Amino acid sequence: MNFQYLITTIKKEPDELKTLLDGANIKGNILVGNQLRPEEKEYQIIGEGYIATIYDLTSKGTSKNRNFLLSKASAKYITFVDDDEHYMTDMQEKVERNVIEKNLPALRYNYCTANRERKGKLIKKKGFITFRHLRSVGAYCIFFRRDLLVSHNLRFNESLGPGTSINHGEDGVFMHEFTKKYKIWSETEIAFIVDQLVSVWHDPKTRDFKVELFSHGYIYYLLYGKLAKIFSILFLVKHRKMFKNLGQNIKELKKYMFQGVVEAKKKDKVKNVEKN
């Protein structure tokens, strides 16, 4: 088997999953991790052109979900898909043919969003890219050689991301680890559309800036170590106008970020002591 699509979702009933899968516009083999279910269960949904294996899971957390699906995958190439993404019409065959022909460790396509206020950041470079290009776009639309992920034990950090106290950053840390070992080839065409219309990150009424900025600081330490506080300040300077317009105090936000840096550093020390 050459390809498997790994979809993460939560609390979906079988009829909801069928609607989700039909709308994803994916043909072939699909694995779905359906978290926060009352009991563990495995079953199949067969639709037009696809066979999906559903894993009802009682666990919580996007990273944990993705790692579970990776442990169940068997294809040469896998890609992680959110439950609000779907393939552009007539793109799947073209994408899969290109991935097979290039036979690289990882190949990435662009995506766009259905929300005009949340435009996806396009990578305009065709060719090999580094982590610098991926910092703000995450693990979307990347086709990975599964054997390389397995052989290097490249997994998502289960302490990060939706469903944990550090509510984002799982993609960035994962891509940072992957790009230490391999380069990713970038195509400039758009392969997927993200349907999400509302985001807590862009609505000041629902954003929790304390959690958000604490998580930013925590992630910066994982990515940049001793330079984490400098990157935190640079982030606040870059976005100072936006925060000011939202009525946020930059000094207070810096405090939250530095608290995140300190917490990550503390946990890192504990981990190193346990290793030794």
pLDDT tens-digit map of 142-164? 999 999 999 999 999 999 999 99
Does residue 254 lie in a domain region? yes
Q: Give the pLDDT score at 269.
A: 79
pLDDT at 140: 82
Angle at the Cα of 111 from the Cα atoms of 110 and 112, rounded to 5 degrees = 135
19-36 per-position pLDDT tens digit: 999 999 999 999 999 999
Q: Are residues 93 and 176 in the same domain?
A: yes
In tens, the pLDDT along 38-53 reads: 999 999 999 999 999 9
Look at residue 172 in the predicted model and tell me its pLDDT.
94
Contact 257, 235 (CB under 8 A): yes
Q: What is the pLDDT of residues 260-271, one digit of tens each?
A: 999 999 988 767
Percentage of the residues of the chain whose pLDDT score is greater than 90? 82
Q: Are residues 89 and 213 in the same domain?
A: no
Q: Which of 165, 197, 229 represents a domain boundary (last residue)?
A: 197
How confident is the model at residue 34, as a pLDDT?
Answer: 98
Looking at residue 53, what is its pLDDT?
98
Residues 68 and 134 placed together within one structural domain of the fold: yes
**Do the domain assignments include residue 247?**
yes
Q: Which of 85, 89, 197 is nearest to 142 (CA)?
A: 85
Q: Cα–Cα distance between 233 and 249 in angstroms, integer?
A: 13
Inform me whether the pLDDT recorded for 177 exceeds 60: yes
How far apart, in whole angstroms, are the C-alpha atoms of residue 207 and residue 238?
Answer: 19
Give 107-132 as a DSSP string.
EEEEEEES-TTSPPPP----EEE-HH
- pLDDT for 274 beyond 80: no
Looking up residue 99, the CATH number of its domain turns out to be 3.90.550.10
163/238 same-domain check = no
| 24 and 75 share one domain | yes
Cα separation, 184 vs 172, in Å, equals 14
State the residue for tokens 């009802």. Answer: 56
Verify that 135 and 228 share a domain, yes or no.
Answer: no
Q: What is the predicted pLDDT for the residue at 205?
A: 65
- Is the model's pLDDT at 17 over the cut of 60? yes
pLDDT value at position 113?
Answer: 83
CB-CB neighbours of 161 under 10 Å: 25
Which pLDDT score is estimated for 184?
97
CA-closest candidate to residue 82, choices 114, 38, 126: 114
Mark whether 34 and 167 lie in a shared domain.
Answer: yes
For 66-117, what is each residue's pLDDT tens digit?
Answer: 999 999 999 999 999 999 999 999 999 999 999 999 999 999 999 988 765 4
Using CB atoms within 10 A of its CB, is residue 151 exposed (0-12), middle (13-18) or buried (19+)?
Answer: exposed
Pair (94, 13) in one structural domain = yes
Report helix, strand or coil for 185.
Answer: strand
Task: Tell me: do 143 and 237 sit in the same domain.
Answer: no
**End residue of a domain, out of 149, 168, 197:** 197
User: 256 is in which domain, residue-wise?
Assistant: 201-270
What pLDDT, on the 0 to 100 scale, is given for residue 276? 59
**Is 276 part of a structural domain of the chain?**
no
Q: Which of 107, 253, 94 is nearest to 185 (CA)?
A: 107
Residue 275 lies in a domain: no
Residues 127 and 73 in one domain: yes
**Residue at which a domain ends, from 152, 176, 197:** 197
